[in-house]
Every structure is written in structure tokens, then in C-alpha cells.
Amino acid sequence: MVTYDECDRETATDKQFPCLIVEVLSDFTKAFDRGDKFADYKFIES
């Protein structure tokens, strides 16, 4: 994840304004990454 927003510098984990998100899928995690995690990404405004 890449972010340039000043607000995102305050925390190491929860980013609110990413400009790029990259997922590397594995056989073990791809169902979660393409399902619930992808659905969560849709709520990010940026």
C-alpha cells in the first residue's frame, strides 16, 4: 500500500487514504483476499 496523505503518517497500520494497493495472492489466502478483504477496500474513499 502506498499513501502520501499526512493523516496516514500518524499510524503504522491503519491507512485511510491509499493511492495504490497491491495484493499478492497465495493459495492459502486468495479466497479471503478476493472476498472479504476486497469488499473492505471498496469502502476506502480514495
pLDDT in tens, 1-46: 899 988 888 877 788 888 998 888 899 988 998 899 888 888 887 7
pLDDT of amino acid 28: 92
Q: Is the residue at 1 inside a domain? A: no
15 Cβ partners below 8 Å, 6+ apart? 1, 3, 8
Q: Can you give the pLDDT at residue 44? A: 82
What local confidence, expressed as pLDDT, does residue 40 receive? Answer: 87
Residues found in the chain: 46
Taking the whole predicted model, whether its pTM rises above 0.75 is answered as no
**Could you tell me if residue 16 is inside a domain?**
yes
Q: Is residue 46 part of a domain?
A: no
Domain total of the chain? 1
Residue span of the structural domain in which 10 resides? 6-41
11 is a domain residue: yes
